[in-house]
A and B are shown apart, each in its own frame.
Chain A
């Protein structure tokens, strides 16, 4: 409920902040606009009010804190100001005031406890591991508040006593208990925004808070009478609380569900806007281009293919693979497609982080595919297999094959860009002329085992590694035999013959 009333106060606060900075008659000494009055999660000790206020006013945060503490001691004015500001100031996750992003941000939840613990100004952790983790989990603020309230109550009692007022411990203690219970309750309110995604509500804290409040109320009411009335008063307090809860529960539930619906709708709207923006920038533009150039079949095919590739990478989130061999190959094949309009079917099995040797392999594959789309005929396919000790690549087309005598330029291109490049990096290249097309085979040995991250499930030792290693040599043998036989059968040109 408080979450609902918050924006009103917050808007008001922010508005005044802007009026100060943006007014038509802006004083010369205030040339820069003030940062908005918001609570930061970084550098906070209790709730970030002092830090946010200091940031807004442009004064040191310690000065604000001292001022708040000093003004709190006589009449609690500083405390009242603090609580009022806490209730009205909006809390933001970062120092950079970005546009309010309603999307639940798990990263923020992960960083917030650490940053609040790390940036605690002048606050010393007791050097006990368990206590520290407990504090890191976000309880620090509440603990400090509790200590502050207790100290304040003590100070208030002493002051009242010295001033000649009659101090009744039986009044002070219940009031302190109620305040502490309320703080327990409100501490949960602060860290759960309406999405409820930042931090789960700790129910034990709510129970403790509720218990303390009830205890305080009972203590306050029972004060004058004897102990036999305790149960009656306790029962009455409990009944009153239950009654209030029952009466207000439907309201709270409805407000809560309305809020959830509203937020879900806002998230959906944002997502839809994102997708719409993407579609507009890419698909609609391409469709417009296609309509304009509909007479040119080759251009239409190329545009459609390029758009398909882009949309695919958007849908399947291929940015996640950035920096890997697979991503580099996809990009290279896409380039070839764009330049020539012939689709290249790329299949990659396994993956690993790219290095300079693999980069050379990608360039050689690109050159081979480039040759295939120029001189061969579709379908052009590229297959790259990341094995445990070598990366193998095969690029094949279905054309009549290029005759090296007819295209002398390409001879140099093939020799230099493919064969030479592979050999410089310790690999081999072979060009095979088949009855129905040409196939270029590239092989690049790799030393270290494949990168553990993409190959994680396979790297797990469960699958009898001895069997795999025992099989590999025989496997290679049979493969070599087959290849040798094939060499005799089909007219195969090795690298020497090619150059």
Chain B
């Protein structure tokens, strides 16, 4: 975020009205911010067209709706799977940020486990969305309060289960739990950092580590849940 750079974006959503709205909002917000410029290089409204646009344009970040027509019926998760291995023009993997009106845990976790770097609701403000996009472009993770709440729930952290070693995939470490709790309470990353006396970078590291656990964990709640919906 220090150097003014251009992030290339593809917006995937089956509602044309919503795509237009996001495009207008993002353009205005990036013009106002100054430190960050966005270039919207493509739009798509279904799984197949999204895969085509993404492989052609090789964007940095894809804003991805959870529910999409086409594909195998898994919406956004299908797009992420079909685009596995596609690299952006900067030769790093294309990053996906899920953007949805749905708060239902199963929708959110489906795209996260498919490989999305983050999830935000469509009611997010333009500035926050901008921050989220730049964060995802840097390879960090973006958690909404609700996703953080789900993570605490699914990993049993709310019930007091904490990992003894950080590498354990099926539980959160004490620090990760603290970070998730603060995010669930509505704290921004920099507020979390201030609260815990750590740097924003460290917060990002913790969140990325939680994201990795969320994607890879075989914890029984997650697996049982995912199996029930034939995600694995």
The chain A residues found within 8 Å of chain B, CB to CB, are 312, 316, 343, 345, 347-350, 379-381, 383, 385-388, 394, 396, 436, 439, 450, 455, 457-458, 462-463, 467-469, 471-472, 474-475, 478-479, 482, 485-486
Q: Does B14 contact A (CB under 8 A)?
A: no
Supposing A383-B184, A471-B164, A486-B195 touch, asked if A388 and B148 sit within 8 A by C-beta, the answer is: no
B224 and A316 form a contact (CB under 8 A): no
Which 10 residue pairs across A and B have the least CB separation, nearest first?
A381-B186, A347-B149, A349-B158, A383-B185, A349-B153, A471-B162, A394-B185, A349-B152, A383-B184, A468-B161
Q: Does B145 contact A (CB under 8 A)?
A: yes
Q: Does B221 contact A (CB under 8 A)?
A: yes
Given contact pairs A345-B146, A458-B156, A468-B161, a sample of 14 additional A-B residue pairs in the complex whose CB atoms are under 8 Å apart: A345-B145, A349-B150, A349-B158, A380-B186, A383-B145, A385-B184, A388-B160, A396-B187, A457-B220, A468-B156, A468-B160, A471-B160, A472-B160, A475-B160
**Residue from A347, A436, A463 in contact with B161 in the complex, judged by beta carbons closer than 8 Å:** A463
Q: Which residues of B contact A386 (CB under 8 A)?
A: 158
Supposing A475-B174, A485-B197 touch, asked if A350 and B185 sit within 8 A by C-beta, the answer is: no
- Candidate in A394, A474, A478 with the most chain B CB atoms within 10 angstroms: A394
Supposing A345-B145, A347-B149, A475-B174 touch, asked if A385 and B181 sit within 8 A by C-beta, the answer is: yes
Q: Does B103 contact A (CB under 8 A)?
A: yes
Within the complex, the shortest CB–CB distance from A491 to chain B, in Å, comes to 13
Q: Which residues of A contact B123 (CB under 8 A)?
A: 343
Contact residues, B198-218 vs A (CB, 8 A) = none
B185 and A396 form a contact (CB under 8 A): yes
Q: Which residue of A lies closest to B145 (CB)?
A: A347
15 contacts between A and B (CB under 8 A): A349-B149, A349-B153, A349-B158, A383-B186, A394-B185, A450-B159, A457-B221, A458-B159, A462-B220, A467-B161, A468-B156, A468-B160, A469-B160, A471-B162, A472-B160
- Candidate in A312, A450, A455, A475 with the most chain B CB atoms within 10 angstroms: A475
Supposing A350-B158, A386-B158 touch, asked if A479 and B103 sit within 8 A by C-beta, the answer is: no
Q: Which residue of B lies closest to A389 (CB)?
A: B160
Total residue contacts A-B, CB cutoff 8 A = 89
A383 and B104 form a contact (CB under 8 A): no
B197 and A387 form a contact (CB under 8 A): no
Q: Does B28 contact A (CB under 8 A)?
A: no
A388 and B159 form a contact (CB under 8 A): yes
Q: Does B196 contact A (CB under 8 A)?
A: yes
B185 and A381 form a contact (CB under 8 A): yes
Q: Does B178 contact A (CB under 8 A)?
A: yes
Q: Which residue of B lies closest to A351 (CB)?
A: B153
- Candidate in A387, A388, A458 with the most chain B CB atoms within 10 angstroms: A458
B156 and A463 form a contact (CB under 8 A): yes
B149 and A348 form a contact (CB under 8 A): yes
Contact residues, B96-127 vs A (CB, 8 A) = 103-104, 123
Within the complex, the shortest CB–CB distance from B226 to chain A, in Å, comes to 13
Q: Which residues of B contact A348 (CB under 8 A)?
A: 149
- Candidate in B159, B178, B196 with the most chain A CB atoms within 10 angstroms: B159
Q: Which residue of A lies closest to B221 (CB)?
A: A457
Q: Which residue of A lies closest to B180 (CB)?
A: A349
Question: How distant is the Cα of A387 from the Cα of B161 in the complex, in angstroms?
Answer: 10
Question: How distant is the Cα of A411 from the Cα of B149 in the complex, in angstroms?
Answer: 31
Within the complex, the shortest CB–CB distance from A384 to chain B, in Å, comes to 9
Q: Which residues of A contact B161 (CB under 8 A)?
A: 458, 463, 467-468, 471
**Residue from A381, A388, A475 in contact with B145 in the complex, judged by beta carbons closer than 8 Å:** A381
A383 and B160 form a contact (CB under 8 A): no
Contact residues, B167-185 vs A (CB, 8 A) = 174, 177-178, 181, 184-185
